[in-house]
Amino acid sequence: MNKTASEAVRFVRELVTTLAKDPAVETVVAPPFTALESVRSVLGSASHIALGGQNLHWEQQGAFTGEISGPMLRDLGCTYVILGHSERRALFGERDGDIHKKVRSALANGLRPILCVGESLDQRQSGRTEPVVTGQVAAGLAELSAQELDAVIIAYEPVWAIGTGHAATTEQAVAVHRAIRACIADAWNTEAAEHMRILYGGSVTPQNAESLLSESDIDGALVGGACLKTESFATIVLAAKNRPVH
């Protein structure tokens, strides 16, 4: 919940000027719902920066005051939507079943869901990281076909690292990303696991982005606070551009 529509417009104008188009890097911005139309107007239909929503409701329309549907996001030019973010789970009580319905709705409306999964500090300290995270993956993607799975992106965001300034170490992040791929391979197949794009989120900064993105198991970043300033966000995108070829 950052940036008014006018603030988001200024930010995106700066970002477009700063970031040159690069086919090796896909960049998505997900401003608040109130700024989507304004940001779309600035980006234009030919922009190399894609637009995403921060959440959606699983129904197409109806008596759900205050909610946003998949068709509404599509009509505003969104191609992505973030689902199951830890703040939605912790602060607003979203459960795996809710998130699964949202993933289904996103796919039905031509949106690529970015499914967020992650463990709390207590869960990590008690050695439950892998079953918690893979359980969230399995629940969020339950019964998807291989074709549907192809449109999904997973973001591993350890809850204990979000907004705390304490990012997971590269080794910790890689271990969980590998566990997620193994989960996908078991439920679908090895090809699906290898093709799955898995992002890391949780106190990603210009200082640690290069180390994280240099790992072959980490395909990108879900950036929080560091994306609020054009310079820091652009630095992270540059780290993605310069990652070694694996």
What pLDDT, on a 0 to 100 scale, did the predictor assign at position 246?
64
What pLDDT, on a 0 to 100 scale, did the predictor assign at position 139?
98
Residue 119 counted as domain residue:
yes
Please state, in angstroms and rounded to a whole number, the distance separating the CA atoms of residues 60 and 93: 21
Q: Which domain holds residue 50?
A: 5-241
What pLDDT, on a 0 to 100 scale, did the predictor assign at position 243?
86
Residue with tokens 């999964």: 117
Which one from 57, 85, 100, 177 is the annotated catalytic residue? 85
Please state whether the predicted TM-score (pTM) of the whole model is above 0.85: yes
Residue 174 counted as domain residue:
yes
Residue 75 counted as domain residue:
yes
CA distances to 38, 44, 226 from 10, in Å: 10, 15, 16
Residue 150 counted as domain residue:
yes
The greatest distance separating any two alpha carbons of the chain, rounded to the nearest whole angstrom, comes to 49
The total number of structural domains that make up the chain: 1
- Local structure of 75: helix, strand or coil: helix
Please state, in angstroms and rounded to a whole number, the distance separating the CA atoms of residues 241 and 233: 13
246 included as an active-site residue = no
Residue 246 counted as domain residue:
no
Which one from 94, 100, 119, 157 is the annotated catalytic residue? 157
What pLDDT, on a 0 to 100 scale, did the predictor assign at position 216?
94
What pLDDT, on a 0 to 100 scale, did the predictor assign at position 24?
87
85 included as an active-site residue = yes
Residue 129 counted as domain residue:
yes
How confident is the prediction along the chain (246 residues), in pLDDT tens digits per residue? 999 999 999 999 999 999 988 888 999 999 999 999 999 999 998 899 999 999 999 999 999 999 999 999 999 999 999 999 999 999 999 999 999 999 999 999 999 999 999 999 999 999 999 999 999 999 999 999 999 999 999 999 999 888 777 778 999 999 999 999 999 999 999 999 999 999 999 889 999 999 999 999 999 999 999 999 999 999 999 999 988 876
We report the CATH number of the domain holding residue 118 as: 3.20.20.70
Provide φ and ψ at 120, rounded to 5°: -80, 170
- Is the CB of residue 47 less than 8 Å from the CB of residue 68? no
- Local structure of 27: helix, strand or coil: strand
The string of DSSP codes covering 105-164 is HHHHTT-EEEEEE---HHHHHTT-HHHHHHHHHHHHTTT--HHHHTT-EEEE--GGGTTT
